[in-house]
Structure 1
């Protein structure tokens, strides 16, 4: 038997992807996004902080490891399945939430579509990468294919 395991190189590739996609995405929608947020380039430059990027990277690390964990639990067995699963997760848990928040905040839905669109694309592409670039561990003969708690591993060890 085999069990899907974390592919750390694939996960970290997705973390990098989670930083590149918004860079490209927001360069495409920059003018409209700034207008919808009532922001100016001067204001953004004056308020830049390294914490914005630290938060973005940490968020990418957490979200990509959680996505990989979800893929292990399902399990996702192909790039196509990963793409579809990532797309669904991004749309259901991010896009819908942003649209709802923006509506209740009386902000333009278009803003949620721009912001959420970047995240849906990130999750879809990360799903493709994680689904296609899988690693397995071979389970010892007779061992069930299920998650083993750390307590069970300690007792067996």
Structure 2
């Protein structure tokens, strides 16, 4: 069933983000959660094409941004490869999958610690340009 495969991919996404948060404590900062939320909303909730993916999530280092981008890109590619992904309606139903309170990471984290919460999907407007530009790092 498509929903089970997608739920497994979401579980892996949050597990991978939890692992990154142990090295990059800023991962759970509001700005980064918002970046993750709008990116997942655009590409997963609204099913937009993966021709250009974000490279900057507001992390404190280039290495951190690259690590987050790698995890997000892996998730987006994996859900696109689910044969029945198109049977899961865009919008509210896909947002509900991302915000499933039954998905708990090994460390006990829920979705909102990584992507915040939204009662409704964000509009599928174009993403901010700064997501596609290397950040300004202290290093």
**TM-score (ref. length: structure 1):** 0.35
Which structure would you say has the larger Rg?
1
Higher helix content, 1 or 2: 1
TM-score (norm. length: structure 2):
0.38
Going by fraction, where is strand more abundant, 1 or 2?
1
